[in-house]
Amino acid sequence: MPVSIAQHESHRLIRLEGRVTIASSGELKSLLLDWIASGKNLQVDLERTEEIDLTVLQLLWAAGRDAAERGIRMISGPSEAAERAARDAGFDGIPGSATPDV
């Protein structure tokens, strides 16, 4: 899972590319936990993902729920593959995908 991270004054950015599967879930979970602890808003860029699996979707949903409880914004820019995977898994979509830029 190619990942890049950028920290801005108002938010953090996590950009995921390629295949984002259970094999990369440990690294993603660590990044999401660090972000929640920071208290900053998060932008998740999934526009270059080719595949995303259920484990990753569950991590994103759990992070989105925790963020909402703490008053932190999480927004996402999903690829067609990510949106399709979310629908196929029974999710309404990717957390934060309906929200405009940070």
Distance CA 102, CA 89 (A): 27
Mean pLDDT of 32-40: 92
Distance CA 17, CA 47 (A): 8
Give me the pLDDT at residue 74, please.
93
Reduce the DSSP state of residue 47 to 3 states and report it.
strand
Q: Report the mean per-residue pLDDT for the chain.
A: 89
pTM, 2 dp? 0.86
Q: Domain locations in the chain? A: 3-88
Mean pLDDT of 22-38: 92
Among 65, 12, 11, which residue's Cα sits nearest to residue 3? 12
3.40.50.2020, 1.25.40.390, 3.30.750.24, 3.30.1330.60: CATH of 3-88: 3.30.750.24
pLDDT digits (tens, 9 = 90+) for 41-58: 999 999 999 999 999 999
Cα–Cα distance list, 84 to 4, 6, 23, 54, 68 (Å): 23, 27, 20, 11, 24
Residue type, 92: D
